[in-house]
């Protein structure tokens, strides 16, 4: 699968409750808004990019990518962002990444796409170790075939909100990111300003 077959979506639509309610994607990370840093890391890996955000839309629009708010009400979580992305996606696949994990792999799209094709899967999901523990799925890092839109509409409109409950309904391949040379902190997400500042000093 070529990068041009993939649209990248930065998920920045949350409440930021663990950061005191601030708009997480607009917090500073190494001199840039966190979501812009994420967008710039994602853009070389895909053909198109867009942002899912629910407030401060003009600030996100200044990044130069299309910005789409949730279609579901009340900050319905990452699946609401998935749904928004699939509705707007004009390529074969959608790659989702959260705005608060700024060190995600620069070959994320390539490795997920290879696994998706190899296993004839509908979803490829990253997995990584946390604090030298076992590999754990990273469900907000998903490569999704656009044909899944109808399924996700049914699931979310039926009240479903948990990513793993939805992905379990489909052929999902889990892709490990624990090879020699992989950054063990690549999937560390900053939930507090202190964690974000700690990432900056690495």
Span 102-158, pLDDT tens digits: 999 999 999 999 999 999 999 999 999 877 788 999 999 999 999 999 999 999 999
- Rounded Cα distance between 184 and 28, Å, is 23
Which structural domain, as residue segments, surrounds residue 185?
A: 3-200
Average pLDDT of the chain to the nearest whole number: 93
Confidence of residue 61 (pLDDT cuts 50, 70, 90): very high
CA distance 150 to 9: 18
Number of domains within the chain = 1
pTM of the model: 0.95
Confirm or deny that 25 is annotated as ligand binding. Answer: no
Q: Is 74 annotated as a binding residue?
A: no
Residue pLDDT, tens place only, 86-97: 999 999 999 999
CATH number for the domain that contains residue 13:
3.90.550.10
Encode pLDDT of 16-44 as tens digits.
Answer: 656 667 889 999 999 999 999 999 999 99
196 is in an annotated binding site: no
183 is in an annotated binding site: no
**Could you tell me the CA-to-CA distances from 21 to 13, 16, 34, 53, 193 in Å, in that order?**
12, 5, 15, 14, 11
User: Is 52 marked as binding a ligand?
Assistant: yes
Q: And the tokens for 141?
A: 């890092």
Q: Is 11 annotated as a binding residue?
A: yes
Q: Is 54 annotated as a binding residue?
A: no
The per-residue pLDDT for 76 is: 66
Distances (CA, A) of 81 to 12, 26, 149: 8, 17, 12
């Amino acid at each position: 699968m070529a990068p041009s077959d993939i649209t990248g979506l930065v998920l920045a639509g949350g409440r930021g409750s663990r950061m005191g309610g601030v708009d997480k994607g607009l917090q500073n990370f190494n001199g840039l808004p966190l979501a812009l840093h994420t967008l710039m890391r994602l853009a070389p890996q895909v053909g198109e990019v867009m942002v899912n955000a629910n407030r401060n839309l003009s600030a996100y629009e200044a990044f130069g990518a299309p910005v789409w708010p949730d279609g579901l009400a009340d900050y319905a979580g990452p699946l609401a962002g998935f749904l928004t992305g699939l509705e707007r996606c004009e390529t074969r696949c959608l790659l989702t990444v959260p705005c608060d994990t700024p060190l995600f792999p620069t070959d994320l799209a390539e490795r997920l796409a290879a696994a998706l094709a190899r296993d004839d899967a509908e979803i490829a999901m990253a997995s990584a170790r946390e604090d030298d523990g076992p590999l754990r799925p990273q469900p907000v890092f998903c490569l999704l075939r656009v044909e899944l839109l109808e399924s996700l509409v049914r699931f979310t409109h039926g009240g479903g909100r948990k990513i793993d409950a939805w992905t379990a309904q489909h052929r999902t391949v889990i892709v490990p990111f624990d090879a020699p040379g992989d950054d063990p902190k690549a999937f560390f997400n900053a939930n507090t300003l202190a964690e974000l500042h700690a990432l900056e000093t690495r």
